[in-house]
Amino acid sequence: MSYSIVVVAGARPNFMKIAPILSVLNREPEHFKPLLVHTGQHYDYQMSEVFFHDLEIQKPDAFLNVVRDHPAQQTADIIGKFDDFLVDNKPDLVIVVGDVTSTAACALAASKREIAIAHVEAGLRSKDRTMPEEITRIITDALSDVLFTYSQDADENLQAENVPENCIFRVGNLMIDTLFTFREKSKNSQILNKLLLDEKKYILATLHRPSNVDTPENLSNFVYVLENVSERIPIVFQLHPRTRERLKEFNLISQLEKLSNIILIGPQGYLDIIKLQENSCLALTDSAGIAEETTALKIPCLTMRENTERPVTILQGSNKLVGCEPENIIQATHKALNQTKDYPVPPLWDGRSAERLVNVLREGVPRRMRT
């Protein structure tokens, strides 16, 4: 009899993490029956569908089509609709990934139905509870029976929160499985030719976090950084829909559009963004995912945040925290452009994380005792 496992995805960062899990589970139909639920938290072509195509992800078994409104309303809608799915399908295990709204909402619904929960990327902590993602991580880990981690600091965070050691499994980074699987295929992308870019002669920039884009002062500071650095080297600025809206709202987008050395692009498919990352000389971002991928690719990355839940990318990778002060970012950018360095890659970031994860599931899922 096969073991019924629901894998949940809702937002763009999730898709790279579920792809290798589903791939490995589907190799063993005699042992596992994987079902994919897409909550619809992010759902348009560039933010969702193109990833299913590029990453060869199976069609979802259920699409919840949740409201895309305030996070509180969205959370409630996800819980209600996912609960209906659980009642109808009665799975043995629910796997949630990352730290988006869908992660905690689906974990809470499964917990109420007394269904075992596994959390991929457990134990990550920024120690900053003003971040919505931090609250999601804490809630999800508290509810989970199996906690899959990718670094020693994540293990230590969970141990400090009294998670039983027999529930913690360090398997590595699922995103890097996907990166290594599709890296060769990404070389066929024509994005560099389309944008008239030369290899290793441009910076890739992204910005999307509310703390960075939702106030005129912070966003204008970043525009100032781009203006300054673009005098030295071309910059490809990938605009998240939220960022584009704020640039227009604050009357800043025209400043960027008139600069010949800044190339504005929208969200890209997975193969195109990997091609852009691998051939850049530097990434300038507030994205944790890009910090992870550039670490695996040994591309220097400057993260414009005051803290990170992924310190392994700094301690054992190519990432550096530079904060949000524009002059500090500019100074760090010029310094990074002036140096050549070979960066390490963290242990278990080897493309085999999903295999280790499924090996754990094959042995049976421990149910966490709560007192």
Q: What letter represents residue 57's amino acid?
A: I
**Nearest-CA neighbor of 308 among 324, 331, 296, 330?**
324
DSSP 3-state of 275: helix
User: Catalytic pick from 38, 70, 119, 208?
Assistant: 208
The enclosing H or E element of 264 equals strand 262-265
**Residue 119 falls in the annotated catalytic set:** no
Is 251:269 a contact under the CB 8 Å cutoff?
no
Q: For 82-108, give the DSSP string.
A: HHHHHHHH--SEEEEETTSHHHHHHHH
Strand partners, 236: 204, 263
Catalytic residues, by residue number, are 208
